[in-house]
Structure 1
Amino acid sequence: MTAAATRPDPFRAMTRSAFVPTLLVGPVAIAIAFFAGGGKAALGAALGYAVTIAFFGLGMVVMLRLAANVAPMLFMATALAVFFGQLIFLLVVILLLQGADWLDGRAFGLTALACALVWQVFQVLGFLRSRRPVYDEAPVSDEAAAGGAAQDEPAGRHTP
């Protein structure tokens, strides 16, 4: 097995950690909207829930495609760029639906905000709990693996 095949996948941990709590928040928000504002508010909450799940779920797919071969030190920068893009697209959807009188905009916005916050908090927790390398692993030579010759120190590390 290669080092890339055994390397932990932070995307799976982040998605697993964020998806389930967000799935639980949506129905609660829809029920609260229904009891507080009726069917129009429930429709707005349901749409806010669906849009948020779609955007953040697709964001993880984009992260998987873009950052699959990114060096570990560039992973967070890539994640922040995708997150910024997600927020811009979510803002565009909110602006496009702002004049729609067939749904309750307040229920839509509050549900989207609640789902986005839950997704982001649990996604960060999933990332922090995942095991990921913080440096590039150097390949081990056959001779060093057998314990024969002394290993040269990696570049940049010096012993006194």
Structure 2
Amino acid sequence: MTDSRPEVAPEPPAVPFATMLRIGIIVNAVCLPVLAIIFWITNGPKGGGSAAIGVLVALVFFAGGLGVLQRVSGDNALLLLAAAFTVYLGQVIFLGIIILALSERDWIDGWAFGLSVLVTALAWQVAQVTGFVRAPKAVYSELSENDVAEEGGTR
């Protein structure tokens, strides 16, 4: 006996968060040693450590924001867009507050920390866009039996 039900392939996620996160982490994994070495050479051990802390702070902020957007994503594109703008604004404000709060501490090199956060944030944004562009996206969705019946057609 044959099964007359059509096979339904699992749909890919609406927004490719996993690909965006993976590429963002890879790019920031490259930024961490590069910035730490550059600032270690130019500003000493304090600069290298501060650069590493800056990269990690930015990585946590932007990966966390992507996690929030993944939870909000759904069928409502307008809600996702509003959430993305809100999350990004919150990230920029909180990163600014952290940079200001830590830049005047004597145990951290403010320039190395701030510039590392800035470079990492820019690299994250480029990586996120690249991840979105490269990720597989559904071009169309299969019609359900109800959709076909409503259109008056047959399958």
State TM-score, norm by structure 1. Answer: 0.77
Q: Distance in 1 between matches of 2:147 and 2:54?
A: 59
Q: Deviations over 1:47-90 (max 9, x none)?
A: 101101111111121112222x2424543343232122111111
Distance 1:138-1:78 versus aligned 2 partners, 3 A rule: farther
Structure 2 unaligned spans of 5+ = 1-6
Q: What TM-score comes out, normalization by structure 2 length? A: 0.79
Q: Which amino acid in the other structure matches residue 87 of structure 2?
A: V
Determine which of 130, 142, 145 is the counterpart of 1:141: 145
1:99 is matched with 104
Residues 59/142 of structure 1: CA separation in 2 closer, same or farther (3 Å cut): closer
Q: Extract unaligned runs of 5+ from structure 1.
A: 152-160
Q: Shift of residue 31 of structure 1?
A: 0.5
User: Does structure 2 retain, via aligned residues, the 8 Å contact 1:73–1:134?
Assistant: no
Q: Is the 8 A contact 2:54 2:113 kept in 1?
A: yes
RMSD value, Cα: 2.7
**Alignment partners' CA distance in 2, 1:24 and 1:38:** 20
Contact 1:72/1:133 (8 A) holds in 2: no
Amino acid at match of 2:31: V
Supply the distance in 2 between the matched residues of 1:132 and 1:71 (Cα, whole angstroms): 16
Structure 1 residue 6: deviation in Å?
1.5
Summarize the Cα distance change of 1:42–1:7 in structure 2 as closer, same or farther, 3 Å threshold: same
User: Partners of 1:140 and 1:25 in 2: how far apart?
Assistant: 46
Change beyond 3 A, Cα 1:139–1:32: same
Overall identity of the aligned pairs, in % = 37
The structural deviation recorded for 1:19 is 1.2
Q: Partners of 1:129 and 1:77 in 2: how far apart?
A: 23
Matches of 2:51 and 2:67 in 1, distance apart?
24
Q: Does 1:118 align with 2:123?
A: yes
- Secondary structure in structure 2 of the residue aligned to 1:6: coil
> Which consecutive aligned stretches of 4+ in structure 1 deviate over 6 angstroms post-superposition?
none
